[in-house]
């Protein structure tokens, strides 16, 4: 069962993963200043008094309800499919709940039964894509890390990047969706929290494999690796002047060289 309704929380490390959001808690966005916000009323009042912000508007990113009946599930999926198609056809700027409802063949009130706004729909789409990316990682980890040394993972980084690329490209609107998560202000905090969450889990995995404490240095290395992994896959999706295979191969070699030097230093340490 997908975890879209309450944000996304996975127990494994992918190069794409949505952030973990507590049940019943919405992600806030300061629509006036284009920054994520959950400040107190006192802080907001102080900013208003200084003329820094005039209006505070929260954009809800979590879904209102999860469908239970078969008919409701079909409506829900039709909304997501319509949003993915429109994301490709008209782009993030022009997409609206009215357009999505029309394309899905449902009324606008029916759409609002599940999603409070277009950003909530995009958030759900992102979570669904990241569910698939998580499955790719889990299979990759099971294939190459169970009862194997860390080098086995390094030797197969390309496989992970290629499979993550493939599942993202196969998703309707996959490229446009990852671009939206990176560029659209209400969704940027989701992406940022996702990177932090995945980096923490990556660090825990490396800590276990190397039998080393999960300190600040390891956390930094994990965060850098996660962002590089995202960037490689996204570049392969976006770039049309460099062969996709070349981008993934060179990117995998970068990650291998980075962690290879780390492993070598660990082995040579007294």
Q: What is the mean pLDDT of residues 54-79?
A: 73
pLDDT computed for residue 58 by the predictor: 61
Per-residue model confidence (pLDDT) at position 221: 94
pTM over cut 0.85: no
CATH class of the domain comprising 126-268: mainly alpha
Counting residues of the chain whose pLDDT is more than 90, the rounded percentage is: 42
pLDDT higher than threshold 50 for residue 112: yes
Cβ atoms < 10 Å from Cβ of 113: 17
**pLDDT value of position 200:** 84
Looking at beta carbons, which pairs linking 90-98 to residues 24 or more positions away fall under 8 Å?
A: 91/176, 92/122, 92/176, 92/179, 92/180, 92/183, 92/184, 97/121
- pLDDT of res. 23: 30
* Confidence tier at 61 by pLDDT (50, 70, 90): low
CA 6 to chain centre: 14
Q: Is residue 107's pLDDT more than 90?
A: yes
Question: For 193-212, what is the mean pLDDT?
Answer: 82
**Beta carbons of 127 and 7 less than 8 angstroms apart:** yes
Tell me the domain boundaries of the chain: 64-115, 126-268
Tokens of 127: 């979570």
76 with 111: CB under 8 angstroms? Answer: no
Q: What pLDDT, in 10s, does the model give residues 221-245?
A: 999 998 999 899 999 999 999 999 9
Say which residue, 19 or 234, is predicted with more confidence: 234
Tell me the average pLDDT across 49-55: 41
**Mean pLDDT score, 211-222:** 92
Quickly state the pLDDT bin for 37 (edges 50, 70, 90).
very low
Three-state SS for 32? coil
Q: 265: buried, middle or exposed (CB in 10 Å: 19+, 13-18, 0-12)?
A: exposed
Residues 107-134: what's their mean pLDDT? Answer: 88
> pLDDT band at residue 139, thresholds of 50, 70 and 90?
confident
Can you state the percent helix, strand and coil of the chain, rounding each to 5? 65, 5, 30
Spatial CA neighbour of 111 closest among 123, 21, 103: 103
CA-CA distances (angstroms) from residue 173 to 22, 73, 168, 179, 261?
Answer: 27, 20, 9, 10, 37
Q: Do the domains at 64-115 and 126-268 have one common CATH topology? A: no
25 has a pLDDT exceeding 90: no
The listed CATH number (1.10.10.60, 3.40.50.720, 1.10.1060.10, 3.20.20.70) that belongs to domain 64-115? 1.10.10.60
Dump pLDDT digits (tens) for 148-168: 788 888 899 999 999 999 999
């Amino acid at each position: 069962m997908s975890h879209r309704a309450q944000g996304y929380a996975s127990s494994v490390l992918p190069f794409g993963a949505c952030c973990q959001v507590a049940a019943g808690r919405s992600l806030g966005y300061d629509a006036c200043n284009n920054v994520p916000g959950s400040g107190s009323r006192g802080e907001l009042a102080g900013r208003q008094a200084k003329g820094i912000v005039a209006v505070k508007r929260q954009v809800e990113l979590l879904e209102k309800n999860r469908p239970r009946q078969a008919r409701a599930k079909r409506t829900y999926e039709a909304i997501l499919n319509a949003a993915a198609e429109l994301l490709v056809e008209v782009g993030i700027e022009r997409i609206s709940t009215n357009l999505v409802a029309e394309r899905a063949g449902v009324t606008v009130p029916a759409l609002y039964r599940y999603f409070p706004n277009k950003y909530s729909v995009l958030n759900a789409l992102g979570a669904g894509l990241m569910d698939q990316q998580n499955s790719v990682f889990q299979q990759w980890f099971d294939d190459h890390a169970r009862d194997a040394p860390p080098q086995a993972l390094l030797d197969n980084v390309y496989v992970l990047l290629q499979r993550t690329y493939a599942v993202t490209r196969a998703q309707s609107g996959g490229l446009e969706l990852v671009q939206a998560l990176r560029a659209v202000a209400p969704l940027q905090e989701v992406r940022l929290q996702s990177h932090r969450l995945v980096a923490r889990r990556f660090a825990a995995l490396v800590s276990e494999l190397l039998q080393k404490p999960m300190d600040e240095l390891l956390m930094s290395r994990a965060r850098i690796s996660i962002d590089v992994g995202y960037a490689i896959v996204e570049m392969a999706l976006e770039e049309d002047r460099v062969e996709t295979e070349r981008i993934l191969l060179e990117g995998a070699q970068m990650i291998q060289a980075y962690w290879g030097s780390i492993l070598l230093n660990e082995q040579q340490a007294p």
